[in-house]
């Protein structure tokens, strides 16, 4: 073994980790791992979500994320810049939406950080409007947060007709 090989073998490697990401993604130490997260069904219309298996403190790095850049928005993409979108079909696509999220995505740094304490068993959720100017599909939110907006849009768009109807219904039911 030459010196260069020896040096690289002293660093943590993909082989030491149970990264959620496949080999095509260049390995990084803080990528999400199966020992920290599990993909499970929510048993509600939100479908599958990601549950933490360990505790995270507020501000703590939950995972460094990685994926594929595309020109299209889909239900599973996050906006990097107006024309560019990020798709991570292994981890981020299972992040749920919440109007009172427990993680925040920094799309410039490709980081997910805890916004409050996350306990083992908690689903990971971020606010979809924090990354999207225009969301692929607006939807009614039932996240249960007291500050739930009721209808989720991108940050630069207005609710569509269905959203306006739902929001006015919600307002009436609160009166
Ligand atoms: Zn909500």
Considering the domain 3-131, what is its CATH architecture?
Beta Complex (2.170)
pLDDT value of residue 12: 63
Give the burial class of 157: count Cβ atoms within 10 A of its Cβ; 0-12 exposed, 13-18 middle, 19 or more buried.
middle
State the pLDDT confidence band at 6, using cuts at 50, 70 and 90: very low
Question: 96 C-alpha vs ligand 1 centroid, how far in Å?
Answer: 11
Which two three-digit tokens encode residue 27? 């390995």
Question: 150 C-alpha vs ligand 1 centroid, how far in Å?
Answer: 5
Is the Cβ–Cβ distance between 168 and 175 less than 8 Å? no
Nearest to 103 by CA among 144, 65, 141, 148: 65
The tens digit of pLDDT for each residue in 94-122 reads: 999 999 999 999 999 999 999 999 999 99
Q: What's the CA dihedral at 149, 153, 157, 163 to 10 degrees? A: -70
**How do beta strands 84-87 and 77-81 pair?**
antiparallel
Q: Distance between CA atoms of 122 and 20, rounded to whole angstroms?
A: 18
pLDDT value of residue 174: 81
Question: 98 C-alpha vs ligand 1 centroid, how far in Å?
Answer: 5
The tens digit of pLDDT for each residue in 12-68 reads: 666 667 999 999 999 999 999 999 999 999 888 888 999 999 999 999 999 999 999
Question: 147 C-alpha vs ligand 1 centroid, how far in Å?
Answer: 7
131: left (phi over 0), alpha (psi -120 to 50) or beta: alpha
pLDDT value of residue 10: 57
Say which residues have a Cβ less than 8 Å from residue 130's Cβ, sequence separation at least 6: 104, 105, 155
Q: In what order do the strands lie in the sheet with 84-87?
A: 68-70, 84-87, 77-81
**pTM given for the model:** 0.88
Question: 142 C-alpha vs ligand 1 centroid, how far in Å?
Answer: 5
Question: 82 C-alpha vs ligand 1 centroid, how far in Å?
Answer: 24
């Amino acid at each position: 073994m030459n010196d260069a090989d020896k040096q690289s073998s002293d660093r943590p490697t993909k082989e030491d980790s149970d990264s959620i990401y496949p080999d095509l993604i260049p390995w990084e130490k803080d990528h999400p791992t199966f020992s920290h997260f599990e993909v499970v069904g929510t048993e509600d219309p939100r479908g599958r979500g990601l549950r933490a298996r360990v505790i995270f403190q507020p501000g703590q790095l939950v995972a460094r994320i990685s994926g594929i850049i595309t020109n299209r928005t889909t239900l599973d993409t996050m906006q990097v810049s107006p024309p560019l979108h990020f798709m991570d079909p292994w981890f981020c696509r299972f992040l749920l939406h919440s109007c009172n999220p427990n993680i925040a995505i920094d799309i410039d740094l490709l980081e997910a950080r805890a916004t409050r304490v996350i306990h083992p068993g908690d689903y990971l959720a971020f606010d979809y409007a924090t990354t999207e100017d225009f969301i692929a599909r607006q939807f009614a939110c039932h996240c249960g947060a007291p500050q739930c907006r009721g209808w989720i849009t991108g940050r630069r768009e207005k609710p569509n007709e269905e959203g306006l109807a739902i929001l006015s219904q919600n307002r009436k039911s609160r009166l």
